[in-house]
């Protein structure tokens, strides 16, 4: 997977997002300037003018929110050997998917653009894996700098990306944080994928779930625990949906479809 100068060519693309993940990568360069010895960045709109279309790894930030995004995604998929979903928006739909659980999309458009709503194309937010095949993902809103560097190294070595399958509590405990749930504050740490070094609990804020659920979450037990911490069912749902609304919406849709049958 190397080019003539022996460097892997990588490109960064952005869709509906705040571009915080791309910025985090720029931040990663503060301590890892030697990253540039290993990869050649051929496209990174946020930081450079050149636009190369010859790349092996595509990092895609942002969610797909309109039809014209799909075409761009197909093109990226066709060119890249490896497509990496970068950050929550691309990985789970992230914050953008909150619009999916609003009562109606038309209302959402009109609320913001009033009678001009029709000028603005939009459809329910989708993670990019709902549009194209994705080889790897780097979760988080924003991504974790260290984890990004680790994934790049692993990919260069031919290893799996190395995103943990265990929950945030593991990292939280190893950092010896005072557990927020035990202090009666809501935290999704027990069911959310680690890799952020439990940054939110470390800074006194319960996990909001930006990295998505672990592969086998015990959701019922989690609900009991949050209930015990004094959260109402609405509050529990709000916690779960903040970054995982796409997923929640999908489940809801499936359930209503089943009911109808």
Partner 1 sequence: MKESIYNPQLTQLASVEELTGLETLFTVKSPDGTLGHKPGQFVMVSALGIGEAPISISSSPSRSNGEFELCVRKVGNVTNALHNMKPGDTIGIRGPFGASFPIEKFRGKDVLFAPGGLGLAPLRSLINEVLDERDAYERVIILYGAKQRSELLFCDEVAEWLERDDVECFLTVDCEDTTDAWHAGKEFDCNIGVITTLFPDIDIDPENTVAATCGPPIMYRFVLQEMLKKGIPEDQIYLSLERRMKCGVGKCGHCQIESLYCCQDGPVFNYAEIKGFEEAL
Partner 2 sequence: MNLQILEKGAIAPMVEALIADYRVVGPQAKGTKFVFDTIADANELRLDYNTTILPPKKVLQPQHERLATFNLQGEPTTESVVEAKPTVLFGVHTCDLKAINLLDEAFSDDYPDAHYLSRREKTLLVSIECLKPCDEHSFCKDMGTLTADGGYDLHLTEIESGYLVETGSEAGEELLAAYAQSSEGGVYQSTLEQIRSDKQDHFESKLHFDAAELPAMLGDAFEHPIWQDMGERCLACGSCTNVCPTCYCFNIEDEVNMTLTEGERVRSWDSCQLDEFASVAGGENFRESRAARQRHRLMRKGKYIYAKFDELGCVGCGRCIRTCTAKISIVESYNAIYDGK
Partner 3 sequence: MSSVNVNVHHVTRVEGHGNIVVNAENGEIKECRFDVVEAPRFFEAFVRGRPYAEINHITSRICGICAVGHSTTSAMATEKALGVELTEQATLLRKLLFHAEIIDSHVLHTYYLVAPDFFGAGSVIPLIAINREVVERALRVKKLSGDLGAMVAGRHTHPVALVVGGFTHTPKDQELRDMRKRLVAAREDMDASVELFGSLDWPKFERETEYISLTKNDEYAFVGGRVKTSDGFEYPVEDYKKVTNEKCVPNSTAKWTHHNRDAYMVGALARFNNNFGHLHPTAKEAAAKLGMEPIVINSYLNSAAQVVEMVHCIEDSIAIIDELLERGIKPEEPAEVKRLTGEGIASCDVPRGILFHHYKYEDGVCAEANCIIPTNQNYSNLNADMKALAPQIIDQPEDDIRLAMEMLVRAYDPCISCSTHYLDIEFV
Binding site for partner 3 (CB under 8 A): 14-24, 26-27, 29-31, 33, 36, 41, 44-51, 62, 65-66, 69, 94-96, 98-99, 101-102, 107-109, 111-114, 116, 119-120, 122, 141-142, 199-200, 202-205, 208, 235, 238, 242
* Minimum CB distance to partner 3 smaller for 30 or for 261: 30
The entry of partner 2, ligand SF4, partner 3, none near residue 37 (CB within 5 to 8 angstroms by kind) is partner 2
Binding status of residue 32 toward partner 2 by CB under 8 A = yes
- Distance from C-alpha of 200 to C-alpha of 139, rounded to nearest angstrom: 15
Kind plus residue range of the DSSP H or E element containing 10? strand 8-14
User: Furthest-apart CA pair in the chain: how many Å?
Assistant: 60
Binding status of residue 190 toward ligand SF4 by CB under 6 A = yes
**Rounded least distance, CB 94 to ligand SF4, Å:** 11
- Distance from C-alpha of 138 to C-alpha of 151, rounded to nearest angstrom: 8
* Minimum CB distance to partner 1 smaller for 33 or for 157: 157
Taking CB atoms within 8 Å and a gap of at least 24, the contacts of 70-73 are 70/131, 72/13, 72/15, 73/15, 73/128, 73/131, 73/132
Binding status of residue 245 toward ligand SF4 by CB under 6 A = no
Stretch near partner 2 under the rule CB under 8 A, chosen from 69-77, 121-129, 218-226, 245-253: 218-226
CB 139 within 8 A of CB 211: yes
Identify the CA nearest to 86 among candidates 99, 76, 101, 98.
76
């Amino acid at each position: 997977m190397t080019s003539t100068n022996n460097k892997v060519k990588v490109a960064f693309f952005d869709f509906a997002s705040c571009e915080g993940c791309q910025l985090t990568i720029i931040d990663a360069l503060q301590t890892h300037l030697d990253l540039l010895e290993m990869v050649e960045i051929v496209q990174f709109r946020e930081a450079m003018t050149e636009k190369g279309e010859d790349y092996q790894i595509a990092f895609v930030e942002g969610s797909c929110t309109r039809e014209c995004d799909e075409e761009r995604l197909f093109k990226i998929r066709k060119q890249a050997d490896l497509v990496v979903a970068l950050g929550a928006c691309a990985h789970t739909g992230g914050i953008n998917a909150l619009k999916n659980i609003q009562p109606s999309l038309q209302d959402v458009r009109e609320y913001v653009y009033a009678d001009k709503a029709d000028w603005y194309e939009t459809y329910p937010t989708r993670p990019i894996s709902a549009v194209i095949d994705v080889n790897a993902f780097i979760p988080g809103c924003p991504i974790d700098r260290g984890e990004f560097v680790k994934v790049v190294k692993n990919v260069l070595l031919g290893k799996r990306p190395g995103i943990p399958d265990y929950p945030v509590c593991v990292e939280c405990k190893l950092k010896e944080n005072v557990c927020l749930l035990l202090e009666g504050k809501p935290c999704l740490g027990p069911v959310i994928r680690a890799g952020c070094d439990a940054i939110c609990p470390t800074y006194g804020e319960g996990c909001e779930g930006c990295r998505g659920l672990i592969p086998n979450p015990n959701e019922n037990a989690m609900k009991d625990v949050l209930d015990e911490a004094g959260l109402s069912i609405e509050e529990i749902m709000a916690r779960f949906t903040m970054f995982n609304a796409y997923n929640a919406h999908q489940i809801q849709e499936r359930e209503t479809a089943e009911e109808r049958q």
